[in-house]
Amino acid sequence: MSASLKTNFLGFDYENPFMNASGVHCMSTTELDELANSKAGAFITKSSTPNDRTGNPSPRYVSVPLGSINSMGLPNKGIDYYLDYVLDRQAKYPNEAPIFFSVAGMSVDDNLSMLHKIQNSNFNGVTELNLSCPNVPGKPQVAYDFELTIEILTKVFDFFKKPLGIKLPPYFDFAHFEIMSDILNKFPLTYVNSINSVGNGLYIDVEKESVVIKPKNGFGGIGGEYVKPTALANVRAFYTRLNPSIKIIGTGGIKSGQDAFEHLLCGATMLQIGTELQKEGVSIFDRVTKELQEIMDKKGYKTIDEFRGKLNSL
Ligand code: SIN
Give the pLDDT confidence of 274-305 residue by residue, as tens digits: 999 999 999 999 999 999 999 999 999 999 99
Query: Quick check: is 219 in a domain?
Result: no
Q: Is the CB of 23 under 6 A from ligand 1?
A: yes
Q: Is the CB of 221 under 6 A from ligand 1?
A: yes
Rounded to the nearest 10 degrees, the angle between the axes of helix 174-184 and helix 146-159 is 20
Q: What is the pLDDT of residue 73?
A: 97
Q: What is the pLDDT of residues 181-232, one digit of tens each?
A: 999 999 999 999 999 999 999 999 999 999 999 999 999 999 999 999 999 9
Q: What is the pLDDT of residue 138?
A: 87
Q: Is the CB of 196 under 6 A from ligand 1?
A: yes
Q: Are strands 67-70 and 100-103 parallel, antiparallel or unpaired?
A: unpaired
Query: Quick check: is 68 in a domain?
Result: no
Query: Quick check: is 210 in a domain?
Result: no
Residue 19: pLDDT band by 50, 70, 90 thresholds?
very high
Of 95, 100, 69, which Cα lies nearest the Cα of 82? Answer: 100
Query: Quick check: is 148 in a domain?
Result: yes
Which three-class secondary structure state does DSSP give residue 309? Answer: coil
Q: How far is the CA of 250 from the centre of ligand 1 (A)?
A: 17
Overall pTM surpassing 0.85 (yes/no): yes
Q: Which residue has the CA at smallest separation from atom 6 of ligand 1? A: 133
Q: Is the CB of 130 under 6 A from ligand 1?
A: yes
Q: Are strands 247-251 and 191-194 parallel, antiparallel or unpaired?
A: parallel
Q: What is the pLDDT of residues 26-57, one digit of tens each?
A: 999 999 999 999 999 999 999 999 999 999 99
Question: Rounded distance, CA 308 to CA 297, Å?
Answer: 15
Q: What is the pLDDT of residue 237?
A: 98
Quote the percentage of the chain above a pLDDT of 90: 97
Question: Rounded distance, CA 224 to CA 197, Å?
Answer: 9
CATH code, domain carrying 51: 3.20.20.70
Residues with catalytic roles: 133
Question: Rounded distance, CA 184 to CA 32, Å?
Answer: 30
Q: How far is the CA of 303 from the centre of ligand 1 (A)?
A: 33
Interval 97-125 mean pLDDT? 97
User: How many domains, the chain?
Assistant: 1
Interval 158-182 mean pLDDT? 98
Q: What is the pLDDT of residue 184?
A: 98
CA atoms within 13 A on the CB side of 158: 10
Query: Quick check: is 66 in a domain?
Result: no
Q: What is the pLDDT of residue 154?
A: 98
CA atoms within 13 A on the CB side of 32: 24
Q: Tell whether the model's pLDDT for residue 140 goes beyond 90.
A: no
Q: Which residue has the CA at smallest separation from atom 7 of ligand 1? A: 133
Q: Tell whether the model's pLDDT for residue 1 goes beyond 80.
A: no
Q: Which residue has the CA at smallest separation from atom 2 of ligand 1? A: 74
End-to-end CA distance of the chain: 33
Q: Tell whether the model's pLDDT for residue 253 goes beyond 80.
A: yes
Q: Is the CB of 251 under 6 A from ligand 1?
A: no
Residue 159: pLDDT band by 50, 70, 90 thresholds?
very high
Q: Tell whether the model's pLDDT for residue 16 goes beyond 90.
A: yes
Q: Tell whether the model's pLDDT for residue 89 goes beyond 90.
A: yes
Give the structural domain span for 258.
7-55+74-198+225-306
Q: Is the CB of 44 under 6 A from ligand 1?
A: no
Residue 137: pLDDT band by 50, 70, 90 thresholds?
confident
Query: Quick check: is 275 in a domain?
Result: yes
Mutate to test the pocket of ligand 1, among 24, 27, 196 (most ligand atoms within 8 A of CB): 196
Q: Which residue has the CA at smallest separation from atom 8 of ligand 1? A: 133
